Chains A and B, each alone.
Chain A
Amino acid sequence: MFSAKIWKLGDDIDTDIILPTEYLAFETVQEMKPYAFSPLRPDLASKIQPGDMIVAGNNFGCGSSREQAPEVVKALGVSCIVAKSYARIFFRNAINNGLLLIEQPDLFDEVSEGDIAEVTPGKEIKVNGKSYDIASLPDNLTEILEAGGLVKAMRKRNGLD
C-alpha cells in the first residue's frame, strides 16, 4: 500500500500533451521531463513530486505510440495513473516500462486535485474516507510489471539477470 497526492487531468489526455513532438528526440528522458504536459499545463511537470499520482477521465494516452510518454511520466516519479480508461498503445507502453495503470470508473468524478489517496494495488483506492474497488491485471502483464518492465523480462530470458 502507498499514499499519493492527486493531480487531476481531464478526458482524452493525448500523447502530444503528455510529451510534444518537439521534445521526443532528446537523448535522455531526463531532458524531456520539464516539458511533460506542457501544452495543457506548462507548470505541471515542475510541481509533480515523486510518489504523486495522476487521476484522469476517459482515453488517457490516446494518440501516438511514442513510448516517451509513459517514460516521462515514470521519470517524474508518478507512482500510478488512475483513469476511467486508457488508449491501448499507451497502456502497453506503460506496463512495459513498469508504470502502474489503474482503471477505475468512479474515482475521477468524486475527487479533487490535492486530495491524498491510499492505493492498495489489485484491491482498492481510498480517498476522503471512501473506498474504490480496483481490478488486478492479467497474469502476463503482472509478470512484466513484476520483472520491472519488458527490458528486464527479456534480459532474464536471455540469461543476463
Chain B
Amino acid sequence: MGYTLVEKIIAKKVGHEVKPGDIVTVPVDWCMIDDIMVPFAVQKFEEMGFDKVYDPEKVVLIYDHFLPATQTDDSRHFRVGDEFAEKYGLKHVHRTDGICHQLMTEAGYVKPGDIAFGTDSHTVTYGCVGAFSTGIGYTEMAGILGTGQLWIKVPETIKIEIDGTLPGNVTSKDIILRIIGDLTASGATYNSLEFTGSTVDAMSVASRMTISNMSVEAGAKCGLFAPDDKTCDYCKIPYDDEIKDLHGDDNASYAKILRYRAEDFVPVCACPSLVDNIKPVSELKGTKVDQVFLGSCTNGRLEDLRTAATILKGKHIAPYVKMIVTPASRKIYRAALADGTLEILSDAGAIITTPGCGLCCGRGGGILSDGEVVVATNNRNFLGRMGTSKVQIYLASPATAAATAIAGEITEA
C-alpha cells in the first residue's frame, strides 16, 4: 500500500507511518506571522506565559497587509512586531518586501517536505513546492512559538490529475477556479489536494503557486505539488533522491480522484459573491466593469504581469476604467522594471502600486463603492471584500483581467 504526498511529508516529520484521520503532533519548520495578526499573536504568547520562542530562526514576520498604511493605528502593528523580534531575537523581519506568501518561498525559507504554519489562510500557497503548509489562528500560532509543535489530523487526499495542453488563453487560475466550482467551496474541507499530470508537470512554479494558493477556497487543508527539477531550481536546492521520493504513490489510497483534460478548460470567472460560482468568461461578455485589479499572492507574479503586458502592449485601457497593478514582491517589481513589463503596463494606463496585499485585503489599494464592478486576479470575492456589500467582484486570470481592462467589459483574452 502506498502513500499520498501529504502522508509522506507528515510521516517523515513524525518518524512513523500515518494514515488519514490520525491525530499527530508535528514539529514546525516555519512560522509565518503577518502584520495584521502580530499584535494578537504576541498578546496570546505572553498570556500563555512562555519566556522564549522555540527557535528564533524559524519565525518570519512579514508586514504586507498594512503597506502602505491607510489608518493611524496601522503602524502600531509594525512597532509591536519589531519589539517582539528584538525581545526574542527573531532573525527574519520583512518590513517592506512584499506579500508574505510570495516571500516565504521566494526569499528561500520554505523548501520541499517542510511543515509550515501561518496566521493567514493562504499559507497553503507553499504547497507549490511540496511543503505541507496551512493557515491557523493567532492563538495556535502563539502556542507554536512557545512549543515548536502543533497537533494536526492527517487529511484524506483528493487527487487531481490534469493531462494535455492548455488552450492559449487559459492559465492556472482558470484551472483552479474550475476545480473549486466542481468541488464547491466546502468540497475539500479537511482534505489535502494533490495535483498531478502532464499539464501540471509542464507548469512553472509560479503557476502552481496560484493553484496551491486557492486550494483553501475549496476548504482544503493544503494543496500540494510533488517537487521536480523546476521546484529545486526555484528553491536553489539539489534535485536529489530524497526530493524525488516526495510524490503520491500510484497505489496510495485517495478519497477521490478527479481527472481533467487540459484541452477542456476555458477562461472562467468566479462570479459574485462566492468563489465557487464559476461561469465561462464567454457567458459574461458585455458585463461592464469599473476597475481591474492585477496582483495578490494568487496572481501578482512576474509571469502574471508579463501575461497582462503581452495583451496590453500598444493598447490602452478603456476610458473611465481603472487598472491597478500591485506586484507581489519587491523582487518581482524590480524584475518587471528590468524587462520592460512595468513600462508597457504604465503606457497602457495602469496604476502601478508598491508591492503588498493591496486591494485584496480590502483596506486600500482601490476600494470600490455601491454598484461598481471589479474584475480581480486575487482569491476571494466575498461580500464586502473590496468596499461595500454592493460591489460586484469577479475573480479571473491575469489574461482575462487585461483583456477586460482594454474592452471595459468582461472579455476573453
Direct contact of A and B (CB under 8 A): yes
Q: Which residues of chain B are near A158, meaning CB under 8 Å?
A: 48-50, 146
Instruction: Name the residue on A nearest B152 (C-beta).
Output: A92
Q: Which residues of chain B are near A66, meaning CB under 8 Å?
A: 36-37, 137
Q: A16-B362, A22-B363, A25-B73 are in contact. Are A140 and B151 (CB under 8 A)?
A: yes
Instruction: Name the residue on A nearest B276 (C-beta).
Output: A12
Contacting pair B143 A62 (CB below 8 A)? no
Indicate whether A121 reaches chain B with its CB closer than 8 angstroms: no
Most buried by A among B40, B134, B190, B274: B40
Instruction: Name the residue on B nearest A40 (C-beta).
Output: B383
Question: Among A14, A87, A138, A150, which residue has its beta carbon within 8 angstroms of that of B382?
Answer: A14
Q: What's the Cα separation between A156 and B252 when bound, in Å? A: 41
Q: What's the Cα separation between A45 and B77 when bound, in Å? A: 26
Interface residues of A in 121-161 (CB under 8 A from B): 138, 140, 149-151, 154-155, 158-160
Q: A16-B380, A24-B36, A149-B139 are in contact. Are A59 and B189 (CB under 8 A)?
A: yes
Q: Which residues of chain B are near A40, meaning CB under 8 Å?
A: 383, 389
Contacting pair A67 B49 (CB below 8 A)? no
Q: How large is the interface on B (under 10, 10 to 19, 20 to 34, 35 or more residues)?
A: 35 or more
Residue pairs across A and B with CB atoms within 8 Å: the count is: 132
Q: What's the Cα separation between A114 and B39 when bound, in Å? A: 37
Q: Which residues of chain A are near B380, meaning CB under 8 Å?
A: 14, 16, 63-64
Interface residues of A in 68-85 (CB under 8 A from B): 68, 70, 85
Q: Which residues of chain A are near B134, meaning CB under 8 Å?
A: 89
Indicate whether A120 reaches chain B with its CB closer than 8 angstroms: no
Indicate whether B404 reaches chain A with its CB closer than 8 angstroms: no
Q: What's the Cα separation between A62 and B48 when bound, in Å? A: 27
Question: Among A12, A25, A85, which residue has its beta carbon within 8 angstroms of that of B71?
Answer: A25
Interface residues of A in 2-49 (CB under 8 A from B): 12, 14, 16-17, 20-22, 24-27, 38-40
Q: What's the Cα separation between A86 and B140 when bound, in Å? A: 18
Instruction: Name the residue on B nearest A14 (C-beta).
Output: B382
Q: What's the Cα separation between A106 and B217 when bound, in Å? A: 25
Mask for B154-196, Cβ within 8 A of A = 1, else 0? Answer: 0000000000000000000000000000000110011000000
Contacting pair B143 A154 (CB below 8 A)? yes
Instruction: Name the residue on B nearest A59 (C-beta).
Output: B186
Contacting pair A88 B40 (CB below 8 A)? no
Instruction: Name the residue on B nearest A158 (C-beta).
Output: B49
Contacting pair A138 B23 (CB below 8 A)? yes
Q: What's the Cα separation between A93 and B73 when bound, in Å? A: 25
Indicate whether A104 reaches chain B with its CB closer than 8 angstroms: no
Question: Among A25, A85, A89, A140, which residue has its beta carbon within 8 angstroms of that of B137?
Answer: A89
Q: Which residues of chain A are near B139, meaning CB under 8 Å?
A: 67, 93, 96-97, 149-151
Instruction: Name the residue on A nearest B357 (C-beta).
Output: A21
Q: What's the Cα separation between A138 and B24 when bound, in Å? A: 13
Q: Which residues of chain B are near A112, meaning CB under 8 Å?
A: none
Instruction: Name the residue on A nearest B123 (C-beta).
Output: A65
Q: A87-B219, A89-B137 are in contact. Are A25 and B36 (CB under 8 A)?
A: yes
Q: What's the Cα separation between A93 and B117 when bound, in Å? A: 14
Contacting pair B219 A65 (CB below 8 A)? no
In whole Å, how far is B88's beta carbon from the nearest beta carbon of chain A? 16
Indicate whether B138 reaches chain A with its CB closer than 8 angstroms: yes
Instruction: Name the residue on A nearest B388 (C-beta).
Output: A39
In whole Å, how far is A156's beta carbon from the nearest beta carbon of chain B? 10
13 contacts between A and B (CB under 8 A): A12-B185, A12-B186, A25-B36, A27-B39, A59-B189, A64-B380, A65-B120, A66-B37, A68-B40, A89-B136, A154-B142, A154-B143, A160-B49
Query: What residues of chain B have their CB less than 8 Å away from a CB belonging to chain A?
Result: 23, 36-37, 39-40, 44, 47-50, 66, 71, 73-74, 76-77, 118-121, 123, 134-140, 142-143, 146-147, 151, 185-186, 189-190, 217, 219, 221, 274, 361-363, 380, 382-385, 389
User: What would 14 more interface pairs be, CB under 8 Å, given A27-B76, A64-B135, A151-B48?
Assistant: A17-B384, A24-B36, A68-B40, A85-B186, A87-B189, A89-B134, A89-B137, A92-B136, A92-B137, A92-B140, A93-B136, A97-B139, A150-B140, A158-B50
